[in-house]
Structure formats: structure tokens, C-alpha cells
Structure 1
Amino acid sequence: MKPLQLTLTAITSLKRNLLRSVLTTLGIVIGISAVIIMFALGEGAQREVDAQIAALGTNLLMVKSQSVSSGGAAGSAGAVETLTMRDVDAIRDQIPQVVASGTSISSLAQVVWGNANWNTRVEGMNLDMLSAMNWHISDGRAFTDQEVNSAARVALIGETVAKELFGVPQMALGESVRINRTTVTIIGLLKSKGEDMRGNDTDDTLLVPISTAQRRILGGNTAFQDRVKRIMVQVDQAQNMDWVSDEIDSLLRQRHRVKSEATQPFVIRNLSQMMETRANASKVFSSLLAGVAAVSLLVGGIGVMNIMLVTVTERTREIGLRMAVGAKPADIRNQFLIESVILCLLGAMLGLLLSLLLLAVAEPLFGWTMVLPLSIVMLSVAATALIGVGFGYYPASKAASLDPIDALRFE
């Protein structure tokens, strides 16, 4: 028989037991939906982590003041500011592999423009910090060295703050806003970075030169205006991270005259490594979930084989009659194989539609974009077709091996 005739015959046979056929496909529907959803969740989570790494910056080391104890109570890292602006410059100038050595101070403050106001994070930073933290200007310009050195009253505004104060972010350029008792002019609009790894809105910020923050806006005791809580160090290449970390440790020990047996007053952390570890953990977890989903698809395939064996038994006389009028064993085997593949592909299509619907519902709940690569869809459908062939071959071979006379006598 021709392939088209076999296919039409297989479809006609499946229609005779429509309810059974639909119920058989449910196992495949659930399996393929689980596989696609798990892959989409995993890929979406991975893209989210990648975006956070890109927003954070690449090849970053963070140097913070070490925790200290007072009256038996241990303070958090950075609670006592032992690092200074001179340390920032020394790291950049004395270690050739350092691309940028940035620092910042920040505090929540009320930003006022006309009758509008917004409470946001005001952050003072040097030029290297803009580079290290991967901040880009979408409109306007960044600070200059002269503005940083002279504590100029200029600012860069985040997209969220600009929308809250001005409605249209571009309208913020050239406008003057008041922070505490200081008026600054907005010279640049920051390119949106979205949420950070803690779920905070990074665009809800206003950046000023660190000297401006220290002397005019956020500065307190003038004796401590040179102190900083953290230094962000950007390294030229990933393979130099450990070496640069050791060099920073040695340099700061020397500058702060820390004895070898004494507890160092600072801690150095590899932020890029921390984010990569999180990304790898996300990959492992996603792979585990996809493996569990694949098992459900395998169970669906076993269900198809079970139904096909029952079908062969029920249609034994029909098989004998077809053989008696000239059907070859290959025709019988191919017909049952086609029926099995049709069941699996039908389940795959329904599973794909169900998974797309569930992903559309789940996307706002999880808070990140679900990514479903076309390759995963094609691979899932192909795997389902192979399951149809693999689990349908034994029932089909059993049907093809029946003796026509015995089959016609079967009750």
C-alpha cells in the first residue's frame, strides 16, 4: 500500500475509538508540556542571570572594609570605613591589569523639581565607577574629570526617577533639581539596566560626582569625607582576577601597615565568580527539572505502547482478513507504526499549545521573560515522533507476525 493510503487507513482506525485515542495522547501532552515549560523556565532564568551579570559589569572585584567588633557585637562588612580615596587611586595606578578602580557613596534622599518630588538613591561616584558598574549614557553626557575634581553641581538621572519627576525622561536634560539643600543640573540620562540580582530597580537612582556628594549633599563629618566603604575594581582579563586580588591584598596591607599576623581591615570578593556560580547552579537545576519532565514523556510513550498492544489484540480478526485479501506483513506493520506516530504527534501539538498558554500565564508571576528557543520545540516534536516509532514498533511487529488463518479464527 502507498504511504498516503496507509496514513488514511490509520486515521480512520483511530477515529473508531476517538475517546481512547484522546486519552492515550494525554500522557504525551503532559510530558511534552512539562519538557517545554522546564526548558523555557530554565532558559529564561539563565537569560535573567546573564542580564544581571552584564548590568553588574565584567571581571569585577569588590574591596570592602572588614567587619569589626565593638562591645562584643560584630559589625557588618563596611560598617567602619578604613578605605580612602587614595587607596582607590593607588589600586588603579600601581596595578597595570586594573582597567578601572571605582568607588561610591550613597544614601536615600528627596529629589525635588517644581511641584514634583521623588525619594530615590542618590549615589556619588568617580568616573571609573561608571565604567566598572557598566553604566551607559542614553542621552546627554557623563561627568568630566574637572567636574569630579571641583565638586560640580551636575547629575546623571536614572530612567525611573526621570519618569516620576518629568513624565518623559528626555525632558530631564538641562533641568535643575534640588537634593536636600543643593541644586544640581541634569546633564545625562542613564541607559536602563532593569532590576539587579536582589530585585531592586537599578534605574531608580541619581548619580553625582563623588566629590559633590561628599562635600555638598551627603557629606557629614569633614574628617571622614575622604573615606569610602567599597572599591569596585575592573580587571582587564578573567584569568588575571586571582592575581590582581592578591596584588590588591598586598598593596592595601602595605598602605595600611597591616602586620602579617593581624586581621586584615578589608575583604576582597570576586563578584563575577559569584554570579557565574549562581548561573551554573541555575543551569544544573534547570537540567534536573528537564530530566524529570523527560521521564513523564517516557511514561507517556509507555502508555502509547500499552494501548497499541490492546488495539492489536482487539483487531486480530481484522488483521487476518486484510492479510487474506493480499495485505503484506510490511503493510500491517507500517499501518500500526503510523497510528502510533500520529497519536504521539497529536499529543505533541496539543502539548505545545498547552505549554505556550501556561508560559503566558506564568511569565508575569515569575517576573522574567520566558524564552522558548525554536530548536527546543523542534527537538521536542522530533523526540515525540521517535517515541511513537520506538514504542509502536513492538505492537506493530506483533501484528505483522500474526498467521492469517489463526487470526481469522481468533474470537
Structure 2
Amino acid sequence: MDKRLQHQGQRLRIAVGFAWQSILTNRRRIALAVAGVAIGIAAVTSMLVIGDSVTAQATRALDQLGADVVTISVPPPGADPSGQSAEPLSEAAQARLDATTDAAVAALRHMPEVQSVARLERRFGCGDGPETALGSPDIVAANPDLPGVLSLRLQHGRFLSPLDARQPWIVLGADVAAELRKTRLDVQPGAALPLCGKTFFLAGVLAPYIGDDLLQSIRMNHAVFVSYASLRRLTGPPSPSASLLLTRLQTGVTAPDMPGLLASRLRTMLSQTVEASGARQVSELRQQQVSLYTRFLAVLGCVALLVGSLGITNVMLASVSERKTEIGLRMALGAHTTDVVAQFLTESVLICLLGAALGLALGIVGAGVALTVAQIGITLDITTPLCSAVLALLCGLAAGAYPAANAARLDPVTLLQGRG
């Protein structure tokens, strides 16, 4: 048994030696075949890395936000089906929207499935007001329940309290605070900060929040939080967008149709159009979109691998044609047909493994760049290089099978006579 293993190992070393020598001799021609495989492996690798990273990001976001958070939208009077109004709201229309929203909040708080409710009102930038060192963040009015509903954490200071209803206090999102630090402005609690031509005092700074991906149109990291009175004073005419209610369900309430149930109850109570969506629904939708994207990349990768494999087949057929004398000499000296087959299969597999190594590196780097631009953390699973290696091995065997079989069928006598 040991002698047989030693013999097989020796044959493998000889096959690898012949294959490597051939690759070095024809490196320019083989470089094109390697490039074809590398492109396919890079596409497959980037597909796996991006898919894993986005899925992991969505999972982390869902863990932080919580699957039991429901976003409810109350559209303003005269809004279109999307919840938007073409014109800024009049004071009367805003008063009606406020009354409807307050009624919705009260109704939700009396529902047994609901633990807490936070109301949000958002503006984009300062409107017609002057820009300041804060740039043009989302200006969000929120009640003190928001941190509890979204599990927000604070880096410094505190969140807004009921006592701040008419006071010039603000809370900064993590990205806004980071930008301010670059300008060397003081972002410690109590610091005076300019916003839309007025001076506010910093109450606190939120820790980075990854649940933004599951909150429709709300960017907690890029927001400045103020009281409702301050929001109206800062931004002038009310925005025509809908009021948003964030609702956290009671522990143990996990029915997937709960958003629809809450919306249906509110429509009945308020005689008003209300839309609702759950964090889990948004997460599943995002993952479906990523799945479609990764499947598209998989198709491209498979096509590239097919083209690369055909290129390797052509290279190997040319190699067989050029090395007929060598093949005939080996067979005349006692090499079996299996040795000839192993020689060319090994060469094909080595070419594919070289392409896989290059493609794996390119795919990881490319995916890393794309994920960095998208501000998504990279997640690299051990199965990614394993999949690349297995694909390369299969491609090498498939691409080298026909040329190897052709080489094994050659007659050594005919080859040595120069008639092959």
C-alpha cells in the first residue's frame, strides 16, 4: 500500500513538473487563458462577497433596529397616493395633519400590541434659510420616545426631553458630528452651534446607527434633532411630506402581518389613508434585491468562466499539437496513456488555479471598493476562496479533458516517425 502511494505521488510530481515547464515555456499564450479564468472567478468572488456583506449588514441593522419596529405614514391633506403634497401646507392643513397624527399616536398607545410610539417630522436642510457649518442635514423633530423605540445610543450627553419643547437644544447624528469635528467646531454637550441662522446648544451626540438601511427615507446618522417648535421656527412653511410614526411592538408580538393590521385599525379609527411597513419586510425586500443582483453577477461570471475554459481548451489543443514528438517519446519509453492524460489535465488545472488566485484577489479588492463606497462593512466567508478553488478545479478538468484524451489516443510509432 505504501509503495503504491509512493508511486502515485511520484507520477503526480512528474505530471506537475511537465505541466509547470510547459506553462513557463508558453507563458505569453497562457496568460490570456489565465486572464479569462480570472475574470470569471473575480465576478463570482465579488458576487459572493457583496452578497454576504449586504446580508450581514441587513442582519446587523435588523438586530439593532429590531424586527418589531413598524413605520407608519400619515399623509397630509390633499396628498397623492405616494403620500406627497404638491404645495407647501397651509397653517390650517398643518393643523389638521397635526391633529390626525396626534389621534393616531393616542390610538396606537392604547393598542395592546404596541409598546411605544415616536413621532417624527422631517425637513431637508434649512429651506430658504442660510447654510451654516452644519451643512444641509436632515432636520428632524422627534419626541423623547425616539431612543427607546429605535434603541438609539448616545456617544455624549442626552437626548431631547419634554422640558426642551421650546428651548434651543439639538442632538446630532453621528455623521453630522464627525463632519463638525473636521472643521474643529466644539461638539461637546453645551456647545453653541449655528443652524439655519440661529444659535442652538448641543444636548448630545448619537452613536453610529446601522438601522438606517431599514428606515425608509430617514437618515439618523445624517440628522439634527430639534423640538417641534424649533423645527417650525427654523424651516418656515411646513413640508408637504407625510408625518411618520415609529412604533415598537410588545415583546413576543411577531405576526408578519402586524403592519397591515395596525394600518387597517388606524384607517377605521381615523377615516384617513395610512400606510405601514415593518423592518423585517424592508429587510427581506433588500435581501431579495441583493439576491437578484448576485444572480445577475453569477450569470456573468459563469459566461466568463465558459469563455475562459474554451480559451484553455484551445491552448491545450495547440500544446498537444506542438508536443507530439515529446508525447511519442514518453510513450515509447513506457509512459502509460494515463500518464499522458494526467500531464495535460494537470497543466489545465494549474492554469485554472493561477486564474482563480488572480481572480480571487481582484474580486475581493473590487468588492471591497464597491462596499466601501456604499459604506457597507466587508464580510469575507471562508467558503468564498473554497468556492473559487472548486470552480477552478472543475473548469480545469473540463477544459483539459478533450485535449488530454486526444493526446492519449496518439500512436507513439507514428509520432516518432514524424507522421503524426
TM-score (norm 2): 0.75
Distance (whole Å) between structure 2 residues aligned to residue 95 and residue 295 of structure 1? 55
Which of 42, 46, 71 is the equivalent residue of 1:37?
46
Native 8 Å contact 1:235 1:241 kept in 2: no
Written as runs of structure 1 = structure 2, the 5 A alignment for 1:8-407 is 8-47=17-56, 58-66=67-75, 68-69=77-78, 74=80, 77=83, 80=93, 81=97, 82-92=99-109, 94-107=110-123, 108-109=125-126, 120-143=137-160, 147=163, 154-163=169-178, 165=180, 171-177=187-193, 185-193=201-209, 196=212, 202-208=220-226, 212-214=227-229, 218=232, 229-236=243-250, 239-243=254-258, 245-251=260-266, 253-254=268-269, 256=270, 258=271, 264-270=272-278, 272-356=280-364, 358-359=366-367, 368=376, 371-407=379-415
SS in 2 for 1:83: helix
* 1:180 positional shift: 7.1
SS in 2 for 1:207: strand
Distance (whole Å) between structure 2 residues aligned to residue 403 and residue 346 of structure 1? 32
Distance (whole Å) between structure 1 residues aligned to residue 105 and residue 379 of structure 2? 41
Native 8 Å contact 1:67 1:75 kept in 2: no
Distance 1:4 1:170, change over 3 A: farther
* 1:280 positional shift: 0.7
Native 8 Å contact 2:65 2:211 kept in 1: no
* 1:269 positional shift: 3.7
SS in 1 for 2:145: helix
Distance (whole Å) between structure 2 residues aligned to residue 195 and residue 246 of structure 1? 23
* 1:97 positional shift: 1.9
Distance (whole Å) between structure 2 residues aligned to residue 305 and residue 116 of structure 1? 62
Distance 1:57 1:123, change over 3 A: farther
Native 8 Å contact 2:169 2:203 kept in 1: yes
Distance 1:187 1:398, change over 3 A: same
* 1:384 positional shift: 0.3
* 1:367 positional shift: 5.8
Distance (whole Å) between structure 2 residues aligned to residue 266 and residue 78 of structure 1? 13
Distance 1:57 1:313, change over 3 A: same
Distance (whole Å) between structure 1 residues aligned to residue 71 and residue 281 of structure 2? 11
Distance 1:267 1:244, change over 3 A: closer
What letter corresponds to residue 83 of structure 2 in structure 1? A
Distance (whole Å) between structure 2 residues aligned to residue 89 and residue 58 of structure 1? 22
Distance (whole Å) between structure 2 residues aligned to residue 325 and residue 346 of structure 1? 31
Partner in structure 2 of residue 261 of structure 1 = none
Distance (whole Å) between structure 2 residues aligned to residue 279 and residue 43 of structure 1? 10
Distance (whole Å) between structure 2 residues aligned to residue 285 and residue 47 of structure 1? 16
Distance (whole Å) between structure 1 residues aligned to residue 364 and residue 278 of structure 2? 39
**Structure number with higher strand proportion:** 1
What letter corresponds to residue 225 of structure 2 in structure 1? L
The C-alpha deviation readout for 1:325-384, integer Å capped at 9, x for no partner, is: 222223222222211111111222233344455456656666655555442122112210
Native 8 Å contact 2:47 2:298 kept in 1: yes
Distance (whole Å) between structure 2 residues aligned to residue 247 and residue 19 of structure 1? 67
Distance (whole Å) between structure 2 residues aligned to residue 392 and residue 366 of structure 1? 40
* 1:181 positional shift: 9.2
Native 8 Å contact 1:67 1:265 kept in 2: no
Distance (whole Å) between structure 2 residues aligned to residue 376 and residue 6 of structure 1? 28
What letter corresponds to residue 14 of structure 1 in structure 2? I
Distance 1:308 1:83, change over 3 A: same
SS in 2 for 1:102: strand
Native 8 Å contact 2:71 2:247 kept in 1: yes
What letter corresponds to residue 206 of structure 2 in structure 1? L
What letter corresponds to residue 337 of structure 2 in structure 1? P
What letter corresponds to residue 391 of structure 1 in structure 2? A
Native 8 Å contact 2:75 2:243 kept in 1: no
Distance (whole Å) between structure 2 residues aligned to residue 154 and residue 91 of structure 1? 28
Distance 1:335 1:185, change over 3 A: same
What letter corresponds to residue 205 of structure 1 in structure 2? A
Distance (whole Å) between structure 1 residues aligned to residue 356 and residue 77 of structure 2? 60
Partner in structure 1 of residue 4 of structure 2 = none
Distance (whole Å) between structure 2 residues aligned to residue 358 and residue 181 of structure 1? 43
Distance 1:245 1:98, change over 3 A: farther
SS in 2 for 1:105: strand
Count of paired positions: 385
Native 8 Å contact 1:61 1:268 kept in 2: yes
What letter corresponds to residue 65 of structure 1 in structure 2? V
What letter corresponds to residue 98 of structure 1 in structure 2? V
The C-alpha deviation readout for 1:269-310, integer Å capped at 9, x for no partner, is: 445423421321221221222122122112322322233233
